[in-house]
Structure 1
Amino acid sequence: MENERIPESLRLRIEQILKEIDEDEDEESSDCDDQLGSASGQFTYDLSLAASHTYLGEVEETHNSLALLEGGAVLTLPLFYLEGVVLFPEATLPLRALIPNFKAAVERALGQVDAPCTIGVVRVQRDFQNRRLRFATTGTTAEIKQYRQLEDGSVNVVTRGQQRFRLRRRWTDAEGALCGEVQIIQEDSPLRTPWEAVGKLAPLRNLRTGNILHVRPLTGSQSNPNSYEDGNESDAISEGTFERELSSAERRLPQSALCTCYGSDAIDGTTSNDNEKFGPDLECQSGRCWLHNDMKLMHAENSKRNKDAGPRVGKTAFPDVQPCNRVGQEKYPIGHLRNVPRAFWPSWVYRMYDSYSLAQRAADRWKHVVRAPSMDGFVMKPKLLSFHIASKIPVSESTRQELLEIDGISYRLRREIELLESFDQIRCKICQTLLAKRNDMLVMSAEGPLGLYVNSYGFVYEVLTLRKTKGVAISGFPRREFSWFPGYVWQVTQCNTCGNSMGWFFTATKKEMKPFTFWGIMNSQILDDSS
């Protein structure tokens, strides 16, 4: 995509026409600023065209179905190193191999036995001071789904991200293909809020041998799978599926977070009389039981108060208690202690790291910020949701690399929620000029407002599509060939302030096409203000 200069008078005339078109579109849709697509009946473009990368021409299916490799597996893969691009699992990556080492990498991938049709994709940065490329240590395997070799020797492929890996070492083989020894990253399982933190109250009869809290099934509103609001003490885990899906490790909290210092015979599960007392076995051997210590403090405070006003621990009031005759031991009414919370921390603390609760929050926030495509179908698949949002969220490439390197699902979702909440403006990376706002985003592909595209020279770009921009100038004549959006011609653009190359301007070839114009901004040229 070359920068061809056009006469100043012609450029001004084009900008005036575009301004008039923009004003006409504003009149047709008064709420256009709040929509990513367009109002009903205003959008006629087929979003599947850009997502299928038809500009690559006819490609053949490889009919390869590669099973996911086990975490920790070490293998050798041909590598594609891309500047300004971060690939995530489940994301589509088009490639056009023109240079010999990339073509050799594709040929090696198609012929290898241990991981057929698989390449490794890593992001690189140019170190201008040392004149070298800096390779990221975390990348993603990509499976070649479609393939075509052209008459000029170039190769067009469409790949799909599979699994994250750590790059251990790299080298160039005899054919010139860049290869690397990679280790597949073991993905963690989605975290759930433990049962001990779900209910508001927990009877002490649930204590059992081994100092592990026995979980009682939730009923009523506590098992409501849609209860994600902060004010609701229940968690979004259905009673029917929770017990079946939990592993033995997930059923336990760290013992430091639970009151686990009771003996196995501390409390009789059949006790129901409020006047019954604790027996001697309830004595905390370590002296660190928070219930035991709180009861002792409560008794000391109670001796100083009026007998009609019981002392309070949190929100629970207790009547007067009488000490036991035995030295070093005290007896307290058991009935009121049945209402002690199960876990040391409140329920909302655990929900901060509950993958399913975070997935719902992330999907809701995505719907508010980006609107399309909807993420609701991935709420019960937090890992896939975290990858989908990471591959589509309009943030800088360095922030996207940060998301790729986060191992925990809950931590990745929390970071994505933070980014969605803070994202509002799009600025030039060089001069920080305001280019557009969040409401200017436009979905022109089924992949979302941000997608990966390759040009005729083999360069891959992450492109953010916008309905309108500010301070971006058009340069060059309209071109139809190799258009990423069939039915549109394109022109290169640059920042008016600093002259930095920003991306492309697309114009429909038919007047009835909606939207008639839109902008594509390279994500690598957007200021990183997410920190």
Structure 2
Amino acid sequence: MEDDNHGEIFQDDSLGSNNDAAEDLILNEEEAVEEDLVVVDEEENELDSSEEEEEDGEINRIGVGRWRNFLLHIHQGGHLPRFQNFGRWRGWIERHLRRNNDNSDPEDDDETENIKTPTNITFDKNLPTSHSYLGEMEDCSGVPYQKEDSYITMPIMYVNDFVLIPGQTLPLQIARFNEVALIQRVMEQEDKTFGVLTANPAISSGTPVTKNLYDFGCTAEIRSFRETDDHEVTQLRIVAVGRQRFQLMEKRTQLDGNVLAKVKIISDNDHSSLNKSLGSCRNCQPTTATNECGDRLSASQFPLQSKYQHTWKHMRRNAWSTSWQPWVHRMYDVDFLRLEIFKELREWNGRLLETQCPDGATDFSFWVVTMVPLSVERRLFLLQLQSAVQRLRCELNLLRTSTTLHCSHCSLRIAERKDVFSMSTSGPMAAYVNPGGVVHETLTLYKTTSLDHVGRRSTEHSWFPGYAWTICECRRCSRHMGWRFTATNPNLIPQKFWGLTRSALSPQVADSDVIGDDVGDNDDAYGSAMFRERPPWIPQL
């Protein structure tokens, strides 16, 4: 009847000149409909409350009022994603319906701004490193390293949105029967080693991606494992460590779906110093630091600052015997690059110590990659470089041009680099795996902004024992950013922190560093970062 009345109003020529009266009539009818909906909403809420009293377990019920508000939000131009899968649609709608529910666990930005850097941390940092959430594991070991520049054949496992770096720990939960069979065959081998490659997104999406980068991977040695049988389904939980880089030469898919590939083990080229290659006399050779007895000092016995000053003194003196200025030698000096990178990393983690840094130039360059939330393409680019000096120079350029952390989807500012701290002995960022088998490289921060917390706290499968996790989403685009961890014991310090996944973060230069200090911290100012050209990060070598 309501639609018929509206039709009669617009079909009657006598009312054509009286549009205001027609609009008033329509508004009155809409208000009457809304009043009816309010009555229905109240009745439905009464029914819901009675059912909740009868069934205490159903505490996340969604009333008709929330559905109506949600549809009005969409009708008024609210954000609506384009999902082709019904399950993703249902999950997205349920998250938005429960966003303001009493059962959610919201967090105000005003509260996070008052959080100070945690000191005297009482949490055992060895627990996340041991991956105790996977249960009791059996230790094992194999042959960690293969001969450099050799060609070997090994099974390959593809991991989505993850690049394994030499020295990095990789936890896996495997349930697919073909991958379980692959790991079981690897466990029977003496070396207990398999190859890890990053899954190329161009294969599924059709977008143009540099194929050569995805041909570089890293070997993984299994260090511990656990095999379980749930409902007659074999599942494996393993912890592997990245060892050596390799380049994919050729591959073939077996009948069971696993990939067997021929790879080439690659290593860094041992470039001699500029003084040695360009010098004209024997006095231009680099000098090694020694103590009073004439014994050589290792990097752990000689601090970075003192070691660089010692090297720079001799380098500056000997550089005049060559055709290059002293500052050119310093650009490619390993000690100088290590010192500058260490200073930049102290901006990310103020409690970082020199003793936590690896000694060798190659090991140090790979360790830096695991400490910073870089994109997959940048990590693959650094992985395929065959010069430690070139890798260190790229990393130094990256660190100097990264001051804030933004959402990788909408460029909304989430945190600053000074908000990063370490909750694990392995550093502020480490890889963890969830029950679904998805690997997340999680960066821990003690303060964030522009995040919405969805759902209730849960201690199930917590990567940090003693803390309950809550899902975090970007306030602008609703992208999953990570989790907030809240202590269940009042004696734990810190009482709460955030673990954000690497794939959801994008290090960028703050607006104040680009266009002046007069830019405020509002969302519009930082949102404009997505339209700003990012500075180049690859140095010209």
| TM-score > 0.5, shorter chain as reference | yes
Work out which of the residue numbers 451, 469, 485 in structure 2 matches 1:490: 469
Q: How much has 1:367 moved relative to structure 2?
A: 2.7
Work out which of the residue numbers 221, 232, 239 in structure 2 matches 1:143: 221
Contact in 2 for aligned 1:121/1:140 (Cα 8 Å): yes
> Which letter does structure 2 place at the counterpart of 1:121?
V
Contact in 2 for aligned 1:192/1:355 (Cα 8 Å): no
Q: Give the 3-state SS of the residue equivalent to 1:80 in structure 2.
A: strand
Contact in 2 for aligned 1:197/1:346 (Cα 8 Å): no
Q: How much has 1:518 moved relative to structure 2?
A: 1.4
Contact in 2 for aligned 1:444/1:465 (Cα 8 Å): yes
Q: Deviations over 1:202-242 (max 9, x none)?
A: xxxxxxxxxx62337889999997353599542499xxxxx
Is 1:187 the equivalent of 2:255? no
The aligned counterpart of 2:126 is 48
Mean alpha-carbon deviation: is it higher for 132-141 or for 340-349? 132-141
- CA distance change for structure 1 residues 150 and 449 in 2, over 3 Å: closer, same or farther? same
Is 1:57 the equivalent of 2:132? no
Q: Deviations over 1:326-374 (max 9, x none)?
A: xxxxxxxxxxxxx993111123312211223322332233234323543
Contact in 1 for aligned 2:373/2:505 (Cα 8 Å): no
Q: Deviations over 1:440-475 (max 9, x none)?
A: 112111111111010111111111111122211111
Q: How much has 1:409 moved relative to structure 2?
A: 0.3
- CA distance change for structure 1 residues 471 and 78 in 2, over 3 Å: closer, same or farther? same
- CA distance change for structure 1 residues 217 and 140 in 2, over 3 Å: closer, same or farther? closer
Distance 1:410 1:528 in 2: 23
Using the aligned pairs only, state the percent identity. Answer: 29
- CA distance change for structure 1 residues 478 and 358 in 2, over 3 Å: closer, same or farther? same
Distance 2:338 2:316 in 1: 11
Is 1:160 the equivalent of 2:160? no
Distance 1:132 1:416 in 2: 25
- CA distance change for structure 1 residues 233 and 44 in 2, over 3 Å: closer, same or farther? same
Distance 2:156 2:270 in 1: 28
Is 1:107 the equivalent of 2:184? yes
In the comparison of the two structures, how many residue pairs are matched?
Answer: 401
Contact in 1 for aligned 2:170/2:432 (Cα 8 Å): yes
Distance 1:426 1:230 in 2: 36
Q: Give the 3-state SS of the residue equivalent to 2:418 in structure 1.
A: helix
- CA distance change for structure 1 residues 214 and 121 in 2, over 3 Å: closer, same or farther? same
The aligned counterpart of 1:214 is 282
Contact in 2 for aligned 1:126/1:132 (Cα 8 Å): no
Matches within 5 A, 1:239-388: 341-376=320-355, 378=357, 380-388=359-367
Q: Give the 3-state SS of the residue equivalent to 1:413 in structure 2.
A: helix
> Which letter does structure 1 place at the counterpart of 2:206?
N
Q: Which has the higher helix share?
A: 2
Q: How much has 1:156 moved relative to structure 2?
A: 0.4
Task: State the Cα RMSD in Å.
Answer: 3.4
Q: Deviations over 1:502-531 (max 9, x none)?
A: 111211111221111111211111236574
Distance 1:520 1:184 in 2: 34
- CA distance change for structure 1 residues 340 and 217 in 2, over 3 Å: closer, same or farther? closer
Is 1:15 the equivalent of 2:106? yes
The aligned counterpart of 1:122 is 197
Q: Deviations over 1:2-33 (max 9, x none)?
A: 876364544697325x657646x63xx4xx3x
Give TM-score, length-normalised by structure 2: 0.67
Q: Give the 3-state SS of the residue equivalent to 2:449 in structure 1.
A: coil
Contact in 2 for aligned 1:466/1:519 (Cα 8 Å): yes
Work out which of the residue numbers 219, 238, 252 in structure 2 matches 1:171: 252
- CA distance change for structure 1 residues 22 and 185 in 2, over 3 Å: closer, same or farther? same
Q: How much has 1:98 moved relative to structure 2?
A: 1.0
Q: How much has 1:436 moved relative to structure 2?
A: 0.9
> Which letter does structure 2 place at the counterpart of 1:130?
G
Work out which of the residue numbers 283, 305, 308 in structure 2 matches 1:228: 308
Q: Deviations over 1:240-270 (max 9, x none)?
A: xxxxxxxxxxxxxxxxxxxxxxxxxxxxxxx
Contact in 1 for aligned 2:141/2:221 (Cα 8 Å): no
Q: Deviations over 1:414-454 (max 9, x none)?
A: 11111121221111111111111111112111111111010
Q: How much has 1:187 moved relative to structure 2?
A: 2.3
Matches within 5 A, 1:405-416: 405-416=384-395
Contact in 2 for aligned 1:170/1:181 (Cα 8 Å): yes
> Which letter does structure 1 place at the counterpart of 2:308?
Y
> Which letter does structure 1 place at the counterpart of 2:264?
Q
Contact in 1 for aligned 2:410/2:477 (Cα 8 Å): yes
Distance 2:282 2:111 in 1: 67
> Which letter does structure 2 place at the counterpart of 1:396?
S
Q: How much has 1:67 moved relative to structure 2?
A: 4.7
Distance 2:484 2:327 in 1: 47
- CA distance change for structure 1 residues 375 and 89 in 2, over 3 Å: closer, same or farther? farther
Work out which of the residue numbers 158, 162, 167 in structure 2 matches 1:90: 167
> Which letter does structure 2 place at the counterpart of 1:77?
M
> Which letter does structure 2 place at the counterpart of 1:215?
N
Q: Give the 3-state SS of the residue equivalent to 1:520 in structure 2.
A: strand
- CA distance change for structure 1 residues 124 and 340 in 2, over 3 Å: closer, same or farther? closer
- CA distance change for structure 1 residues 97 and 466 in 2, over 3 Å: closer, same or farther? same
> Which letter does structure 2 place at the counterpart of 1:119?
F
Unaligned runs of 5+ residues in structure 2 are 1-87, 292-296, 509-534
Contact in 2 for aligned 1:196/1:343 (Cα 8 Å): no
Distance 2:176 2:494 in 1: 36
Q: Give the 3-state SS of the residue equivalent to 2:486 in structure 1.
A: strand
- CA distance change for structure 1 residues 218 and 398 in 2, over 3 Å: closer, same or farther? closer
Q: How much has 1:83 moved relative to structure 2?
A: 1.5
Distance 1:189 1:379 in 2: 18
The aligned counterpart of 1:79 is 156
Contact in 2 for aligned 1:191/1:356 (Cα 8 Å): no
Q: Deviations over 1:262-281 (max 9, x none)?
A: xxxxxxxxxxxxxxxxxxxx
> Which letter does structure 2 place at the counterpart of 1:399?
R
> Which letter does structure 2 place at the counterpart of 1:174?
L
Distance 2:416 2:321 in 1: 46
Distance 2:371 2:494 in 1: 21
Q: How much has 1:93 moved relative to structure 2?
A: 0.7
Contact in 2 for aligned 1:193/1:235 (Cα 8 Å): no
Q: Deviations over 1:464-513 (max 9, x none)?
A: 11112221111122221111111111122211111111111211111221
